[in-house]
Amino acid sequence: MSVDASPSTVSQPTNLEAVARNGSRFRRMAVRIPTYLADVRENPAWLPMFMLARTMPGRRLHWALSAKYKPSQGQQDSMFGPLDASAVADALSSDGIFTGLQMPARIQQEIGNFARTVPCFGNFDRSLEFVAPRHREAEARFDRSLLSGHFFERSMRSPGVRAIQADPLLIDIARRYLGAGARLITTRIWWSFPTSGASEADRSLASLDKFHFDLDDWRMLKFFFNLVDVDEGTGPHVFVKGSHNRRKARHQYTLLVGHPADDVLDYYGADQAVTLTGPAGSGFVEDPFGFHMGTVPVTKPRLMMEVGFGVSRPSRRRFYGEPVLRK
Ligand SMILES: O=C(O)CCC(=O)C(=O)O
């Protein structure tokens, strides 16, 4: 298994409670409002999803009405080897997460080289363009902290990114878990950087340092890949096992998707928080309705890839993970 999530390495994010308590929850939400407004303008059907998909009755109803997937016999060759897609879907149903994906080294290296040479956009802002190895210099040039570097549609120039996105194992797992209507809704690669002075708004947009659940679609599945060696200092992703199918009422009937760590961990148990450290190329797949977050790197930058599946048509902007920024 490539992802380091064995019980001995599962850490309880002791400093996260303090981090999560800092700052206003509403300020974190406010930064997302321009994106929400754009979503509803682009697709009015987004609004009922946004209101109802956060409730367990709404989700269960949508799930019950969805077309079931009938897997065909035989499995197509995958770069991830002969993994049993049905066992992965079972793990997702019970825990909300499956760890143990490993991409070939040549693919990980190609994407790593791509991300070190092609300019990315700092803090999701297309006017803050720089190449990752010049991060410190870029912070000085733009006179602001740069917490993340996204590639948006540029990601698709990388043959490795395209190959992972198209790997038959991913859609097979997605259909088994989400149903026959599963479709690709996001592909992105991005850096998160050690930096001081990142604002609450920048951390919120980058989904860092606060447990939250995703509400981009009625039902979703996200594959994440660590594209550098990720240890505790590299800002690992954290997921709360079992939080995808059990939700206290206060976390359903609220517009907030982010909640303080003590609130989340008291309910599910601190021992359910899995910290996804692992070598370059390791990956995991999760139901992002479960509580999760990235953490801010402290020692070295983290390069990540996400391939997301859902059940509705995404906008082009959403596909590449681009929010609408308030100027
Ligand atoms: O950077 C991370 O690991 C977290 C990403 C995340 O929370 C998300 O895609 O919803």
Distance from Cα 208 to the centre of ligand 1, integer Å: 7
* Amino acid (one-letter) located at 311: V
Average pLDDT over residues 132-158: 98
pLDDT digits (tens, 9 = 90+) for 254-283: 988 998 899 999 999 999 999 999 999 999
- Measure the CA–CA gap between 197 and 127, rounded to whole angstroms: 20
Select from 293, 296, 318, 322 the residue to mutate for testing ligand 1; criterion: most ligand atoms less than 8 Å from CB: 293
Judged against a pLDDT cut of 50, whether residue 55 lies above it is answered with yes
Judged against a pLDDT cut of 60, whether residue 296 lies above it is answered with yes
Select from 191, 224, 285 the residue to mutate for testing ligand 1; criterion: most ligand atoms less than 8 Å from CB: 224
Average pLDDT over residues 303-318: 94
308 lines ligand 1 (CB under 6 A): no
Q: Sketch the domain layout of the chain as residue ranges.
A: 9-66+75-310
Q: Which atom of ligand 1 is nearest to the CA of 302?
A: 1
294 lines ligand 1 (CB under 6 A): yes
What's the confidence (pLDDT) of residue 98? Answer: 98
Average pLDDT over residues 288-292: 98
Q: What number of other Cβ atoms are within 10 A of residue 220's Cβ?
A: 25
- Measure the CA–CA gap between 172 and 312, rounded to whole angstroms: 17
Which residues are CB-contacts of 254 (< 8 A; sequence separation ≥ 6)? 54
Distance from Cα 85 to the centre of ligand 1, integer Å: 23
Select from 150, 203, 207 the residue to mutate for testing ligand 1; criterion: most ligand atoms less than 8 Å from CB: 207
- Whose Cα sits closest to atom 3 in ligand 1? 294
Percentage of the chain surpassing pLDDT 70?
92
Q: Which atom of ligand 1 is nearest to the CA of 306?
A: 9
Distance from Cα 243 to the centre of ligand 1, integer Å: 16
Give the chain's length.
327
What's the confidence (pLDDT) of residue 24? Answer: 60
Whether residue 215 contacts residue 47, with contact meaning beta carbons closer than 8 Å, is answered with no
For every residue of 126-173, DSSP letters joined together read TTSEE-GGGHHHHHHHHTS---EEE-GGGGGG-HHHHHHHT-HHHHHH
Q: Could you tell me the end-to-end alpha-carbon distance of the chain, in angstroms, rounded to an integer?
A: 44
* Amino acid (one-letter) located at 199: S
Select from 191, 284, 292 the residue to mutate for testing ligand 1; criterion: most ligand atoms less than 8 Å from CB: 292
What's the confidence (pLDDT) of residue 30? Answer: 82
- Measure the CA–CA gap between 310 and 12, rounded to whole angstroms: 30
Average pLDDT over residues 40-57: 94
pLDDT band at 252 (very low <50, low <70, confident <90, very high): very high
Q: Look at the domain 9-66+75-310 and name its fold.
A: Jelly Rolls (2.60.120)
216 lines ligand 1 (CB under 6 A): no
Q: Which atom of ligand 1 is nearest to the CA of 292?
A: 7
CA distances from 14 to 17, 20, 273, 288 (A): 7, 11, 11, 22
In Å, how far from its chain's centre is CA 91? 18
Q: What number of other Cβ atoms are within 10 A of residue 128's Cβ?
A: 17
293 lines ligand 1 (CB under 6 A): yes
Alpha helices in the chain (DSSP H): 16-21, 25-30, 33-42, 46-52, 56-64, 85-95, 105-117, 135-142, 159-165, 168-178, 200-205, 249-252, 261-268, 316-319
Average pLDDT over residues 154-182: 97
- Whose Cα sits closest to atom 1 in ligand 1? 294
273 lines ligand 1 (CB under 6 A): no
Whether residue 303 contacts residue 253, with contact meaning beta carbons closer than 8 Å, is answered with no
